[in-house]
Structure 1
Amino acid sequence: MPEPLFGEPTRERVEPAPGAVLLPGWLGPEEQRELVAACREWARPPAGMRTVRMPTGGVMSVRTVCLGWHWYPYGYARTVVDGDGAPVKPFPPALCTLARRALADAYGDSLAAVAGAAAYRPDVAVVNHYPHGAKMGLHRDKEERLDAPVVSLSVGDSCVFRLGNTDTRTRPWTDLELRSGDLLVFGGPARFAYHGVVRTLPGTADPALGLVGRLNVTVRQSGLSDGPSR
């Protein structure tokens, strides 16, 4: 983890709910820059970054690109069914390695006790770019057919992330500040908890990243075979 600057206290590991683990500064500066560069390549068309329109007609304020499987409300497909129709970009093996390392670091000796963690074989990444002012309402990641953990990586501006409960979008919830380089894992009892981004904190990113806003890369194991899911 990066060393704190100017006497800033070291941020500690947090477990905001059973199965949820926050490891501050898990990605070092060089790994963050590499991830930004990779996201720029993934964002290029075809099957590039797009704005998502919900079935209700609303438009999400984040922009999204998917790898491995294409996520759309509310399913997965092998092509960008709500965009240019191109085949989705492949899921990078390097992301699989990174996500498996993330689970090992987050759960440690408890890895085998968390559903799907020890045998984790992710095949989906959803990359969201939050421009200034973007947010995301409380939702659950429930299009997958397995309860394997979600690995979430933050780069760029900090944000206020809300981790709720598994039953409703109302309280109880916990608000966490996620900064650039932070790793958040949620599996086990927290796997299907409602969660979202209340707001981003513009201007908090390291200028060396060359990034405006926030990038969030979530890695998942879908449990899907070929063919769209619903």
Structure 2
Amino acid sequence: MSEGLFPVRRERAEVAPGAVHVPGWLPVERQRELVGACREWARGPVPMRHTVLPGGGVMSVRTVCLGWHWQPYRYTRTAGDVNGARVAPFPDWLADLGREALTAAYGDAYGTAYAPDTALINFYDGAARMGMHQDREERSSAPVVSLSIGDTCVFRFGNTETRGRPYTDVELESGDLFVFGGASRFAYHGVPKVRAGTADAAVGLGSGRLNITLRETGLTG
């Protein structure tokens, strides 16, 4: 029996307390708009780059930041590890999108209070991976909003104590929303695999996967 003839319906799911997957949340038109915006941000003032880790390792994903510049393991306004320029501002319309995303994941209780001030935009080619890690550089414990565009990936969502089991593998497709906050805000998570060639040509990305994560840093200045 062909899966193409009888596609499996993907439903909203709470993967862990406070961690919610909303499949197909972004319509194709909005995905195309975000792809265009990401292309502009990738050109600078701080260009998209492979982040160099303190031990000398180089991340396989390429990253560009808005609002605040992330480098292991802190935020700054300028990119001292790239070209010294101030990062592009975080646009109000992207904050609005983040509030819409929280409302879709959690209902009306939280969305209007969400005030993200930074975005990390990661581009994965077919060989890129992301090891298990926590998002701990923020002073705010507000939820993280994650948007996927392009190739499908395996997103591994773990626990707050260890990089190992227990964890849940979730397939994130183009247009999917994943939010994690509350008891799961500091859960380890990563991307062990990207399924190259699975992107819908209609989103305008070509090959690869874009992941846009919105966060409240809790920082000032």
Q: Is the shorter-chain TM-score for this pair beyond 0.5, marking a shared fold?
A: yes
Distance 1:134 1:51 in 2: 11
Q: Give the 3-state SS of the residue equivalent to 2:15 in structure 1.
A: strand
Q: Give the 3-state SS of the residue equivalent to 1:147 in structure 2.
A: coil
Answering whether residue 218 of structure 2 is matched by residue 223 of structure 1, we say yes
Q: How far apart are residue 93 of structure 1 and its match?
A: 0.8
Task: Specify which of 160, 168, 188 is matched with residue 166 of structure 1.
Answer: 160
Q: Give the 3-state SS of the residue equivalent to 1:97 in structure 2.
A: helix
Distance 1:92 1:118 in 2: 17
- Give structure 1 stretches of 5+ with no counterpart: none
Return the letter of the residue paired with 1:39.
Answer: C
- Give structure 2 stretches of 5+ with no counterpart: none
Distance 2:63 2:31 in 1: 18
Aligned residues: 217
Answering whether residue 201 of structure 2 is matched by residue 202 of structure 1, we say no
4+ residue stretches of structure 1 with deviation over 3 A?
Answer: none
Distance 1:168 1:131 in 2: 27
Distance 1:105 1:140 in 2: 24
TM-score (norm 1): 0.92
Counterpart of 1:55 in structure 2 is: 54
Counterpart of 2:79 in structure 1 is: 80
Q: How far apart are residue 208 of structure 1 and its match?
A: 2.2
8 Å CA contact 2:17, 2:183 repeated in 1: yes
Answering whether residue 119 of structure 2 is matched by residue 120 of structure 1, we say no
Q: CA RMSD in A?
A: 1.2
Q: How far apart are residue 63 of structure 1 and its match?
A: 0.2
Distance 1:96 1:28 in 2: 18
Q: Give the 3-state SS of the residue equivalent to 2:20 in structure 1.
A: strand
Distance 2:175 2:75 in 1: 28
Q: How far apart are residue 6 of structure 1 and its match?
A: 4.6
Distance 2:112 2:138 in 1: 18
Q: Give the 3-state SS of the residue equivalent to 1:134 in structure 2.
A: coil
Identity %: 62
